[in-house]
């Protein structure tokens, strides 16, 4: 069995794959779509993160491919429907980087109302603008609305409760893991969640149902001066509508780690706003998170290729033949 690693994984994950009996592992990073298409026909397994796009066109050339492993949760860079049609298992690694994303979310929730980035930039430039940044806000006794109570949303809810916040949740199908945590949260409608929240944070997957879920209509329902955080996926927030809401004062601030187009174009209107905090898709980028995801993915691929064991599949392809 041949495994192609197309995105950077931790050395320990690569080592796990290479030590497995019967597997040959090639690491080829930064492949252009045409290069990946020309190579993929010889491989039974493909390991990726978020950079490599596994399109229907590439899958057409994947004659021997049996499984695609994503080191992370989101699989929006993989055409899952096309993979399913070709009987290719697509598996992810839920939970491996959940803590990393949850902690970045909390960092943004703390930084926004205290204007920490702006204050740091000002101070480093030689200024001492204490009065300018004196009117910050606390998380304590505020209301946070969480869209999506999966692995990451649950961790965020736990930490917000520890800060003394009221936690509202919109999720028609909360994960079993979330239910087992026994969190003291209030399940409400999307409209009520948005209307009551001082802070709104997004933790839903990117799909047709969530595309532009947070749009001008929802911004109009939010409290004036509320804050928005998105560390989930690009495309869930209508970015043009967000820019308008930040400019007209509907929102006091917003922070996003993910964008509809990445890298973000330098002329993007959000980047010109002082009350907008962007990061370059760093959610899962901790040493601990990357190590956990790579190890988990390597173990799952070995189990599948050696013994046919399927773990964390996001599709259920029909049997071949």
| Contacts of 229 by beta carbon, 8 Å cutoff, 6+ apart | 105, 108, 109, 112, 199, 200, 201, 202, 254, 255, 256
263 preceded by a cis bond (ω within 30 of 0)? yes
Catalytic entry in 18, 262, 288, 311: 262
Alpha carbon of 40 to those of 37, 62, 77, 297, 313: distances in Å?
6, 5, 16, 19, 21
Residue 27 forms beta bridges with which residues? 5
Provide the CB-side half-sphere exposure for 47 (13 A, CA). Answer: 32
Residues in the chain: 321
Is residue 262 annotated as part of the catalytic site, yes or no? yes
Is residue 281 annotated as part of the catalytic site, yes or no? yes
Is residue 233 annotated as part of the catalytic site, yes or no? yes
Q: Say if CB 188 and CB 169 are below 8 A apart.
A: yes
Query: How many angstroms separate the CA atoms of 260 and 236, rounded?
Result: 8
Longest dimension (CA), the chain: 72
Catalytic entry in 70, 203, 268, 281: 281
Return the closest-CA partner of residue 222 out of 240, 196, 252, 241.
196
Structure tokens at 145: 């609305």
Catalytic entry in 49, 70, 159, 233: 233
Active site residue ranges: 233, 262, 281
């Amino acid at each position: 069995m041949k495994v192609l690693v197309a995105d950077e994984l931790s050395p320990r994950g690569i080592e796990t794959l290479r030590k497995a009996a019967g597997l040959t592992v090639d690491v080829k990073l930064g492949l252009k779509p045409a290069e990946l298409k020309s190579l993929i026909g010889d491989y039974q397994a493909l390991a990726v993160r978020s950079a490599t796009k596994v399109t229907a066109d590439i899958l057409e050339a994947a004659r021997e491919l049996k499984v695609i492993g994503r080191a992370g949760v989101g699989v929006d860079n993989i055409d899952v429907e096309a993979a399913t049609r070709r009987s290719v298992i697509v598996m992810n690694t839920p939970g491996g980087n959940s803590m990393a994303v949850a902690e970045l979310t909390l960092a943004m929730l703390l930084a926004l109302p205290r204007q920490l980035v702006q204050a740091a930039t000002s101070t480093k430039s030689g200024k001492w603008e204490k009065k300018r940044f004196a009117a910050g806000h606390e998380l304590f006794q505020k209301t946070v609305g969480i869209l999506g109570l999966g692995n990451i949303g649950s961790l965020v809810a736990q930490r917000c409760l520890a800060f003394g916040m009221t936690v509202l949740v919109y999720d028609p199908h909360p994960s079993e893991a979330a239910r087992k945590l026994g969190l003291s949260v209030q399940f409400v409608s999307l409209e009520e969640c948005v209307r009551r929240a001082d802070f709104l944070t997004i933790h839903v997957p990117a799909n047709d149902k969530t595309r532009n879920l947070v749009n001008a209509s929802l911004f109009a329902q939010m409290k004036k001066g509320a804050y928005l955080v998105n560390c989930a996926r690009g495309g869930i927030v209508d970015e043009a509508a967000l820019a308008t809401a930040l400019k007209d004062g509907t929102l006091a601030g917003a922070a996003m780690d993910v964008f509809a187009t990445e890298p973000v174009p330098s002329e993007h209107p959000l980047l010109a706003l002082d009350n907008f905090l962007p990061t370059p898709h760093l959610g899962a980028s901790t040493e601990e998170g990357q190590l956990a995801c790579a190890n988990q993915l390597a173990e799952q691929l070995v189990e599948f290729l050696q013994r046919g064991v399927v773990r964390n599949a996001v599709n259920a392809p029909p049997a071949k033949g």
